[in-house]
Amino acid sequence: MDEFALIKRYFSDIGAIPELPALAQAIQEGIGNDCAILRIPPQFDLCLSIDTLVSGIHFLPDAPADRLAYRALAVNLSDLAAMGAQPLCFTLALTLPESNELWLQAFSRGLDRAARQYAIRLVGGDTTRGPLSITIQVQGVVTAGQGLRRSGAQKGDLICVTGVLGDANAALGILGKGNPAEWESYFLSRYYEPSPRLREGLALSGLATACIDVSDGLLADLAHILESSGCGAVIRDDAIPLSEALRGTAINPLTHALEGGDDYELCFTISESNLALLRDREPTLRFTEIGSIVSTPGLRRLNHRGEIMCINPVGYKHF
Ligand code: ADP
Ligand code: MG
């Protein structure tokens, strides 16, 4: 199959669902021209984010292609969520060692599954031959001026996280092993199918003072907020939300939750009064208060024995 037949067969209809949100009317042209064309309504700011997954660095070469595709889109959508943006469309740059139809079928299936779930259409891309790598760029919109940032945290704000932490990191020890036990399947799904917190991000815009998605680990990502905002934080070990599965199986669940990445939950800071407003407006959203912002720089943990520990966050760094 040549390059153009491949694009038509596997990528022309990704996320092209009838029930796309009204926002999708901004897409004037999708795949098939030299560029996609978007007409962004004037009340919006456009948000862009791009992520690359390289075989052997971000995933094992024999990782299941459908789950890999799902994850590749989901982690990009998580960046939109962290800014309070709504998804609009995405592009895909795919480098493949060979035209393997089975792999492409599975990849395209997984990509479409995520695209439909989050109502986002694929509008273009690039297909090249080389070592396997997957790059996705997402485009989303926020109401003009309302995009969440890392820089607005203030002394007295509460620190919250959505969902539970550490599960995706617990999956790393299981990846690539055949026939996972049932409880292992749970961790694998938390790794391969993270839930971008788009609904939460949208609800937070205009209320939260700062927000980030937890991709490198809670401590490392919270440290980014502190650095951008010029303040410090105290978090409580006993408040960190953990799943039953992690509590029941990990030797040190808290280490997975604090230092492990790949959760794609949101960590945000918010004033007490806005937190009350948020709970009022969105009673079904699941998030946990884990600490507060202080003026003294640095990140401190209050441990189970009531001792304060200063910490030096170490997240994953490529360089
Ligand atoms: P050009 O050489 O002008 O950049 P291409 O031949 O690379 O165009 O691509 C033809 C069309 O197919 C373009 O609309 C491009 O966006 C789209 N396309 C190419 N590869 C992909 C892909 N992997 N996923 C989605 N669209 C793709
Ligand atoms: Mg061209």
CA 32 to ligand 2 centroid distance, Å: 10
Q: How far apart are CA 128 and CA 195, in angstroms?
A: 29
Q: What is the DSSP letter of 6?
A: H
Q: Does residue 313 carry a pLDDT above 80?
A: no
pTM: 0.94
What pLDDT does residue 158 have?
98
Neighbours of 263 (CB within 10 A): 30
What pLDDT does residue 183 have?
83
Mean pLDDT of the region 97-118: 96
Q: Does residue 12 carry a pLDDT above 80?
A: yes
Q: How confident is the model at residue 37 (pLDDT cuts 50, 70, 90)?
A: very high
Tens digit of each residue's pLDDT (9 = 90 or more) over 207-226? 999 999 999 999 999 999 99
Q: Which ligand is nearest to the CA of 92?
A: 1
CA 132 to ligand 1 centroid distance, Å: 17
What pLDDT does residue 27 have?
94
Q: How many separate helices (H) and strands (E) can be counted in the chain?
A: 10, 13
Nearest CA to ligand 1 atom 4: 34
Tokens of 62: 């024999």
C-beta of residue 169 within 8 angstroms of C-beta of residue 248:
no
Q: Which ligand is nearest to the CA of 35?
A: 1
Tens digit of each residue's pLDDT (9 = 90 or more) over 49-103? 999 999 999 999 889 999 999 999 999 999 999 999 999 999 999 999 999 999 9
Nearest CA to ligand 1 atom 10: 32
- Residues touching ligand 1 (Cβ under 6 Å) are 7, 11, 31-34, 92, 94, 122, 124-127
Q: How far apart are CA 73 and CA 119, in angstroms?
A: 12
3-state secondary structure of 235: strand
| pLDDT, averaged across the chain | 94
Q: How far apart are CA 270 and CA 180, in angstroms?
A: 40
Q: How confident is the model at residue 317 (pLDDT cuts 50, 70, 90)?
A: low
CA 17 to ligand 2 centroid distance, Å: 26
What pLDDT does residue 199 have?
97
Tens digit of each residue's pLDDT (9 = 90 or more) over 296-311? 999 999 999 999 999 8
The DSSP result for 127-162, as a single string, is: EEESS-EEEEEEEEEEETT----SS---TT-EEEEE
Q: How far apart are CA 270 and CA 293, in angstroms?
A: 9
Q: Using alpha carbons, select from 293, 313, 300, 297 the residue that is nearest to residue 153.
A: 293
Q: Does residue 155 carry a pLDDT above 90?
A: yes
Q: How confident is the model at residue 316 (pLDDT cuts 50, 70, 90)?
A: low
Q: How far apart are CA 93 and CA 95, in angstroms?
A: 7
What pLDDT does residue 315 have?
54
CA 291 to ligand 1 centroid distance, Å: 47
Q: Does residue 190 carry a pLDDT above 70?
A: yes
What pLDDT does residue 225 have?
97
Q: Which ligand is nearest to the CA of 115?
A: 1
Mean pLDDT of the region 267-285: 97
Position with higher pLDDT, 272 vs 180 = 272
